[in-house]
């Protein structure tokens, strides 16, 4: 899933096409979530592929764990891997679709 596919685009003052702000939904803890400890060499995108089969869903793991500005993880960090990604993606689309 391309996280910018549903993000509205606009043209700035100089005529260059730009994306509007991307909004991310809250991701509450659910029974379907998994909890893991990061290991040496773990990256958010690789974990997204491992658990979701899609590296572009890295933002779900990052948002659920308050991770900003990095993809590589230190070993020994407890991580929550949200399980109900269908609802999370639907909420994401709803937040970012132009009305």
pLDDT value at position 88? 96
- DSSP class of residue 18 equals E
pLDDT reported for residue 36 = 97
Regions of the chain short of the pLDDT cut 50? none
Name the burial class of residue 89, with classes exposed (0-12), middle (13-18) and buried (19+) by CB atoms within 10 angstroms of its CB.
Answer: middle
Helix (H) or strand (E) holding 4: none
CA distance 46 to 64: 16
Among the residues of the chain, which ranges form H helices?
A: 44-52, 58-65, 85-96
Q: How far apart (Å, rounded) are the C-alpha atoms in residues 89 and 82?
A: 11
């Amino acid at each position: 899933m391309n996280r910018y596919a549903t993000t509205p685009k606009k043209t700035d003052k100089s005529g260059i096409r730009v994306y509007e702000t991307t909004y991310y939904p809250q991701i509450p803890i659910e029974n379907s979530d998994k909890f893991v400890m990061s290991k040496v060499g773990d990256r958010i995108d690789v974990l997204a592929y491992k658990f979701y089969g899609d590296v572009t869903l890295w933002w779900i793991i990052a948002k659920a764990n308050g991770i900003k500005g990095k993809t590589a993880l230190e070993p020994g960090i407890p991580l929550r891997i949200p399980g109900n990604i269908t609802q999370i993606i639907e909420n994401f689309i709803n937040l970012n679709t132009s009305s």
